[in-house]
Structure 1
C-alpha cells in the first residue's frame, strides 16, 4: 500500500519546523456551478454546494474545471465565483483552494495566475493551451512561464489528452520541473493513467500524480502511487469512502465499492457534457441546489439516463444522504 500522507511539495514551514500537510492527499473534488432555470449563476446555490463539499472532510477543492463548465462563464462570473470560494476556504484551516488557469495565451495565463494567487489561492491548476495545436516547445514555455510567475506556490499540471488532443511525455514535464520545482503535481487524465503515473514517480526528482477522469481507474492509480484524485463533487462521499478503504489497507473493500460505481461513471464519462448533466441532477436530487440547468450547448438527459441516476442514488443511499437545509 502507498503512504498517502507522504506526498510533499516544495513548501516549507516559515519557522523551519515541520512542513505543512500535503496540498493534495486523497479526494480533491472539482466544484460545479449551479445555474437558475433562466441560466443565471445561482450564487446562493454555489455557496451551499461549497459548504457541503468542505463539510465532507476534504483537504482541498479545485475550481473551475471542466466539471464547472468553465468555458461557459463570463469573466465577471468566474471572478465572482473564485472570490466566493476563497472566502469559504480562508475560513477553513487545513483546506486548500486550487484555482484553475485555462487561458490559451501565455500572457493571459500568467496574469490570471498572479491575480488568483494574490486573492488567496493556495495552488494553481494549469491546463496547457491546446487551440490550433501549439508546438511541444510552446507548451513547455507556457507551463514554465506560469510556474515562474507564481513560484513558490504549487502548480498542478492538468494532462487531459482526450479533451485537448495535446500530448506530452514524462520527459517533457520533467524538463519544466527541473527548472521550476513548484511544478509539484500532474493531474493524469490519459487513458489508462497508470503508465504515466509510474513514469512520473520514477523521475529524478519524482513528480506526484493525481488521478482524474471521474475516478474510472482509481484503484489502479492508487496502487501505482497516485496521491489523490480529482473527480466531480456531487457524490464526493463515494470517492472518499473508496480512498479510505485503500488508505486503511482494505483493498478488497475499495475494489468492491469501486466496482459498484464503475457501471455508472463508465457510462457518464462517454461524454464530458453527459457527466456534467448527470452530476448536476444528482446534486439537485440531494438538495444541494435547485436547478440542474446546464448552459447550452449541453447534454439533455433522456428518460433512461434519469432513471439511471435515480438507481445510482438508491444504490449509494447510505453514503449520499439528502443535504439538510
Structure 2
C-alpha cells in the first residue's frame, strides 16, 4: 500500500520503546510456506507470524535467506509484508525488520523507502554481491540506502559465506560515523565472534546480532552480541537459551545450546538444507500443511527426516504442537 509519508515523519512517530531496543534478544527470520503445487500459503504465513510473535520475541525479520526471498515474486513479497505488518504496525512491543536485497542501488532506495512508508520499524540491508561489485561500489550502495531512509534505523547484514561480499569492521564504522542510522550489524561470518568484538572496538562502537542459526552463539554472546536472528521453526528453544544468558545463567544457556548444536551445525552445511529442515519441523508442529520448497531446493533424505524427528523428540518440552 503506497503512502506519501516520508522517513522523517515516520521516525518522529516511532513508539516507545525504540525499535533498536526491541531487536535485542531473539529476532527470528520468518519462513514462507508453500502449497504442494508451489503457491504461497498466505494463511500458513499468517499462522507463522502469530505463533512467532506469541513465543516471547520483540522483533522479527522478513524476508531473509530462511524466507527463500530469492524465490518470491515482487507481488508475493509485497503481500507477505502486508500480512506481517497487520500484526506489528500498531503494536508498541514488537518491531518489524523488513529486508532490502535489491542489487541495483536505485531499486534498493525505492524499495527501502516504500517499506518504511508501509510501516517497517527497521530496514535490514543486504549489500549487493551479484557479479562481484567493487568495494567502492558496495560502500556507495550502502550509503545511498542509509541516506534514503534516515533517520530510520538500518541493520547492515554481513553474510560473506552466502554472498562473498567482504566488509571489514573499520569500513562499517566509517559508514556509521557518517550515517548514525546504521544501528546494528547482523554478523554471519564463520566464526562471528572476532568480527563482533572488532565492531565493538570501533569508534563509534557498533552493536551486533548474530545470524547463521546461532551455531556459535555462546562465543558471540561472550564477545558482545546483543541478539540473534535464527530461523523461526524452533523459536522457543532460542528464547530459552537467551533467557538463561540474560538471567546470569551462562552454564545453563551453554548446555541447552550444546544439545542444539549437533542439529543446527549439520543443517547449516547448506542454506537450502536448513530451509528444508525448518519447514518440515514447522509442518510436524502443525504450523502449516506442506514442507514444499520451491525448486531448486534440497530434498531431505531418510536419515535427515529421522534427524528432524529426533530433534523434535529431544526438544518436545520446548516445541509442543502449535495451537493457533
Q: Does 1:280 align with 2:284?
A: no
Paired residue secondary structure (2:252): helix
Partner of 1:75: 74
Contact kept, 8 Å, 1:31 with 1:63, in 2: the verdict is yes
Deviation of residue 90 (structure 1)? 1.8
Paired residue secondary structure (1:22): helix
Cα gap change, 1:67/1:12 in structure 2, threshold over 3 Å: closer, same or farther?
closer
Partner of 2:304: 305
Contact kept, 8 Å, 1:184 with 1:208, in 2: the verdict is yes
Contact kept, 8 Å, 2:11 with 2:152, in 1: the verdict is no
Contact kept, 8 Å, 2:273 with 2:298, in 1: the verdict is yes
Alignment root-mean-square deviation, CA: 1.6
Contact kept, 8 Å, 2:19 with 2:95, in 1: the verdict is no
Partner of 2:125: 126
Deviation of residue 277 (structure 1)? 0.1
Paired residue secondary structure (2:265): helix
Q: Does 1:211 align with 2:210?
A: yes
Q: Does 1:179 align with 2:188?
A: no
Contact kept, 8 Å, 2:11 with 2:151, in 1: the verdict is no
Partner of 2:88: 89
Distance 2:147 2:283 in 1: 41
Partner of 1:200: 199
Distance 2:167 2:20 in 1: 29
Partner of 1:262: 261
Partner of 1:4: none
Deviation of residue 29 (structure 1)? 0.1
Structure 1: tracts of 5 or more residues without a match: 1-10
Cα gap change, 1:321/1:123 in structure 2, threshold over 3 Å: closer, same or farther?
same
Number of aligned residue pairs: 314
Deviation of residue 147 (structure 1)? 0.5
Give a deviation string over 1:225-275, Cα, whole Å, max 9, x none.
100000000001111100011111111100100000000000000000000
Give a deviation string over 1:83-134, Cα, whole Å, max 9, x none.
1111111243210000000000000000000000000000000000001111
Partner of 2:60: 61
Contact kept, 8 Å, 1:123 with 1:156, in 2: the verdict is yes
Partner of 2:322: 323
Structure 2: tracts of 5 or more residues without a match: 1-9
Distance 1:241 1:18 in 2: 22
Contact kept, 8 Å, 1:51 with 1:88, in 2: the verdict is yes
Distance 1:230 1:213 in 2: 8
Distance 1:174 1:23 in 2: 22
